[in-house]
Chains A and B, each alone.
Chain A
Amino acid sequence: MSTLQVSIYRYNPETDSAPYMQEFQVDTQGRDLMVLDVLHLMKEQDNGLAYRRSCREGVCGSDGMNMNGKNGLACITPLSEVVKKGKLVLRPLPGLPVIRDLVVDMGLFYKQYERIQPYLQNDTPAPAIERLQSPEERDKLDGLYECILCACCSTACPSFWWNPDKFVGPAGLLQAYRFLADSRDTATRERLTELEDPFSVFRCRGIMNCVAVCPKGLNPTRAIGKIREMLLANAT
């Protein structure tokens, strides 16, 4: 009665010539566990199962994966929210190379993040205390700085699937806008110049998969729209 049927993507490059789906029966004892708890129970059955995890409370961004077709964080996704007809299908985040089981190579994702120069740039001499910022200016960073780099959004984005080397992707663009929107950053023009090519920003087609899957409830599509507005204002 409290047995959950889990189908999980398996691939070990040392022993498997191709990935395959493996079936597990997990005894949940009727509890509404988080998907990550279920993975722990599965790992006790099969020591070799590989997945990333760290904080187990949705702030470190380690355990992004595809659960019954939708990207999310395993540690804050309860079974009641995701299981359909007593079945759970777990796959790695789509669109990135698989290293093993649910562990993907996030290299391209991080490269796009690094490309937008994700750090404050200010060419004025720093004061002896903090730089002042009004609460209203600070409010502009809400909904942007909270990103945990879990890659749920970018790996749900077809534009990122097609051009992961050229399109920055929703996560990177959210951070690009986080620095464009910061009243303390003075590199606005340089940042915009880096983004005006046909790929970096403009491959966004506004389908909003990123918004639908973001486990932190952030809205990269809106940030991308704001970047477009800034580019337009800057160039006309």
Chain B
Amino acid sequence: MVTNITNFGRSGLSDWLVQRVSAIILALYTLFIVAYLLLNPGLDYATWSGLFAQTWMRIFSLLAFVSIAAHAWIGLWTVTTDYLKPTGLRVGIQTFIILAIFVFLVWGIQILWGA
């Protein structure tokens, strides 16, 4: 078994599963948004804001945000371990990616539930 500490789950299986489940959620979310936009041609701010005022939509969106965060982390972690061989550079970039994802996630939550 190959041990690795920067991979949070430390299990390839859970990474693999998370990647697939998150992909499905993101696909559904994307389909929903596209369909919604197509069905509401003259979309105005009030309708759009109304959609996001509903609790189920907030939960669905949060789910999509968490999914995109997990998906991006696992994907980019893989890419950095493939291509970035110098340890310092790799850890640096990985740290940057983690922070960025964290910031985007918190920001996203703030937008959803914020005033």
Contact = CB atoms under 8 A, between A and B. Distances in A.
A–B contact (CB under 8 angstroms): yes
Interface stretch (A8-16, A31-39, A193-201): A193-201
B87 interface: no
B115 interface: no
B2 A231 contact: no
Nearest to A159: B82
Given A166-B2, A193-B1, A196-B1, A202 B12 contact: yes
A194 B15 contact: no
Interface of B: 1-4, 7, 9-17, 78, 81-83
Given A232-B17, A235-B13, A162 B3 contact: no
B17 A196 contact: no
Contact of A231 (B3, B10, B13, B82): B13
A51 B81 CA distance: 33
Q: Which of A196, A198, A201, A228 has most B Cβ within 10 Å?
A: A198
A198 B5 CA distance: 11
11 contacts: A163-B81, A166-B2, A194-B1, A195-B1, A196-B11, A197-B12, A198-B2, A198-B9, A198-B11, A198-B12, A199-B2
Contacts of A228: 13, 16
Interface residues of A, number: 19
A197 B81 contact: no
Contact of A202 (B3, B15, B82): B15
Q: Which of A193, A196, A201, A232 has most B Cβ within 10 Å?
A: A196
Interface string A130-166: 0000000000000000000000000000010011001
List of 8 A-B pairs having minimum Cβ-Cβ separation, nearest first: A202-B12, A198-B12, A199-B2, A162-B82, A197-B2, A166-B2, A196-B13, A197-B1
A199 B13 contact: no
Given A194-B1, A196-B12, A198-B4, 12 more contacts: A162-B82, A193-B1, A197-B3, A197-B11, A197-B12, A198-B2, A198-B7, A198-B10, A199-B12, A200-B12, A203-B78, A228-B13
Interface of A: 159, 162-163, 166, 193-203, 228, 231-232, 235
A159 B83 CA distance: 11
B1 A200 contact: yes
A194 B3 CA distance: 10
B80 to A, nearest CB: 11
A166 B81 CA distance: 11
Nearest to A228: B16
Contacts of B17: 232
Contacts of A162: 82-83
Contact of A199 (B4, B9, B83): B4
A201 B83 contact: no
A196 B4 CA distance: 12
A197 B10 contact: yes
A117 to B, nearest CB: 12
Nearest to A192: B13
A197 B4 CA distance: 8
Contacts of B82: 159, 162-163
Contacts of B16: 202, 228
A157 to B, nearest CB: 12
Q: Which of B11, B13, B16 has most A Cβ within 10 Å?
A: B13
